[in-house]
Structure 1
Amino acid sequence: MPDIKRISKEDQAGLPKFQNQEEAIGYFEKTYREKFVFEESIETEEGNCHFYRLITDEEAYIKGITELNANGHVGLAFMDSYQPVQISENGDIQIAH
């Protein structure tokens, strides 16, 4: 799968209304496949919240992960190589633009 474009605010407005977290995660996994990567999960007052990375520049992402593991720090190219996606238990999504 080639590099993908970032999800714009307009793209986000056009996404389906998800009924729950599983539905939202399923949609993103089906749409973006291996480019949609789980980062972490935290417990909030509203319930469980999952954080993902939508990889938009795979080459820069892999290089950044390699640098992080070797040196303990990353460059701006790595930070720009993915788009954070937060999915709440009720299916609400937040996408960093």
Structure 2
Amino acid sequence: MRYEEHHIAGRRNSNTTIRLCVECHRRITACQGAVGVPLSGTTDDTQRTAAMVLGLLIIVETMANAYARRIAERYGLRPDTRTGYRTPRAA
């Protein structure tokens, strides 16, 4: 599996990185752009801090969803489309 360095707040906002697989890197970067992280960079410290916080939240959410799917599959659970909570499969 190939890995890439991901800039948590966007390359032009911070040098802080984590290693992600290529697919996760693309997905998380797209999410950053979708929620308004200024990927083209900003000189405003408040916006840089917000970019870091949003970047971290996106990473945590992505990881939590991945683990939730793995656990649900392992124990035969599926998401309830009304609430998002996991419910046992019907027999």
Q: TM-score range by the shorter chain?
A: under 0.3
When Rg is computed on C-alpha atoms for both structures, the one with the higher figure is 2
Structure (1 or 2) with the greater helix fraction: 2
Is the strand fraction higher in 1 or 2?
1
